[in-house]
Amino acid sequence: MPRIDGDMSDWEIVPEDYIYGTDLLNDTEDGMGTDIPPEDLDVKVTIGWVKGMSRIYFKYEAYDDFWDFERFNPKGYLNDIFELVVDGDLSGGPFIKNPMYDQDELKWDPQTDAYIENHLNFSGVHAQNYHIYTPPVNNAWVLVWGSQPWISEFPRANYAYDFDFEHGESGTLQLEGWITPYDYAPHDGPQRAIESKLWENKVIGLSWSILDFDGGDRDGHVNLAHTVRMVSNASYLCSFKLMPLEDQFLEPIKAAWTYKVIDEEKGIVAFKDESVGKIDQWTWDFGNGDSSLVQDPIYRFEDKNVRTVITLEVKGPDGSSKRTRYWEVMIR
């Protein structure tokens, strides 16, 4: 798990083949295609996740021949921007402008550059768009293109920068941070929000674009999805698989398990082994004197409304490991 502190050294363990470079980007709006001169803009992006947490980590490293970040614009667009878009449950479809609304009947809000009803009821609710300022001098760190600015606040997001250039100069910027993807992110705050659940090998929608200003009009709008429609319609995002840890970072053997109550009335629970390593023996202790040697047992609890203490012990050529969970498997 990287520390979000502006020191990028903890990203050095990430292999080169996990890094997305400028050669994968396409300037579909301004006509440059994939011919993006590295002396003008050169980008490296690394994406990560941590098992058990609803966070997408990112590192953005970019060389720009002209960093633009001191001009004022009420809409907040005249700034170099790293635009990150995520669809945590791969639901797809538009998420900024709702085609089901009659646009002629909605009220336009010049401050948000959106229709009021459309903005509150639809924008950013099932997929989220982050306009991240690079760097955020005299500015918020991000403009959320949606109706839920609360998603950019800690502990739902975090960020840190490292750069040493002034406005108008060339140089390299490094940004690290994490965001929380949401299956449902209403405008009125996180109380009713539903975080996207992340697990190994899950596929999510994700992409990014870079808005490059050079002191005047926009110099380029390059993106990973090769279409600018990715910024408002999740169906155009790229598919990302959440990969498990590389073998070099795994413990030789470690017990782990999950469960699902499949019949609460009868007290039937399905247990699933998720241990790591070479394993040839599983021993389950259900906390009531009963046990099982099956890897993925289905067990019926006769007694209900009890606080269970359940342990899985695994053994293999590299040793043994136990995992106990207290009071979690509840049968009412």
Q: Give the residue-averaged pLDDT of 290-311.
A: 89
By the 8 A CB rule, do 206 and 87 touch? yes
For residue 153, is pLDDT > 70? yes
Q: How confident is the model at residue 116 (pLDDT cuts 50, 70, 90)?
A: low
DSSP-derived letter for residue 105 is: G
- Asked: is 250-326 a CATH 3.40.50.300 domain? The reply is no
For residue 106, is pLDDT > 90? no
Q: Give the residue-averaged pLDDT of 211-240.
A: 90
For residue 108, is pLDDT > 80? no
Task: Report the alpha-carbon distance of residue 262 to residue 259 in Å, rounded.
Answer: 9
Q: Give the residue-averaged pLDDT of 202-222.
A: 89
Q: How confident is the model at residue 134 (pLDDT cuts 50, 70, 90)?
A: very high
Which three-class secondary structure state does DSSP give residue 192?
Answer: helix
**For position 105, what pLDDT does the model report?**
61
By the 8 A CB rule, do 308 and 301 touch? yes
- Our measurement of the distance from residue 232's CA atom to the centroid of its chain's CA atoms, rounded to an integer in Å, reads 17
Higher pLDDT, 46 or 331: 46
Per-domain residue ranges for the chain?
8-241, 250-326
For residue 103, is pLDDT > 90? no
By the 8 A CB rule, do 329 and 308 touch? yes
Q: Give the residue-averaged pLDDT of 79-89.
A: 96
Any idea which of 31-40, 190-199, 209-218, 232-241 has the lowest mean pLDDT? 31-40
Nearby residues of 265 by Cβ (< 8 Å), 6 or more positions away = none
* Residue 32, both tokens: 């440059």
**For position 113, what pLDDT does the model report?**
59
Higher pLDDT, 246 or 331: 246
By the 8 A CB rule, do 80 and 228 touch? no
Task: Report the alpha-carbon distance of residue 211 to residue 239 in Å, rounded.
Answer: 22
Q: How confident is the model at residue 31 (pLDDT cuts 50, 70, 90)?
A: low
**For position 244, what pLDDT does the model report?**
87
Question: Would you list the DSSP string of 43-84?
Answer: EEEEEEE-TTS--EEEEEEEEESS-------TTS-SS-EEEE
For residue 112, is pLDDT > 60? no
Any idea which of 115-124, 171-180, 226-235, 276-285 has the lowest mean pLDDT? 115-124
Task: Report the alpha-carbon distance of residue 4 to residue 125 in Å, rounded.
Answer: 26
Any idea which of 158-167, 211-220, 227-236, 239-248 has the lowest mean pLDDT? 211-220
Task: Report the alpha-carbon distance of residue 256 to residue 245 in Å, rounded.
Answer: 15
For residue 222, is pLDDT > 80? yes
| CATH ID of 8-241, from 2.60.40.1190, 3.50.50.60, 1.10.10.60, 2.40.110.20 | 2.60.40.1190
Task: Report the alpha-carbon distance of residue 151 to residue 178 in Å, rounded.
Answer: 11
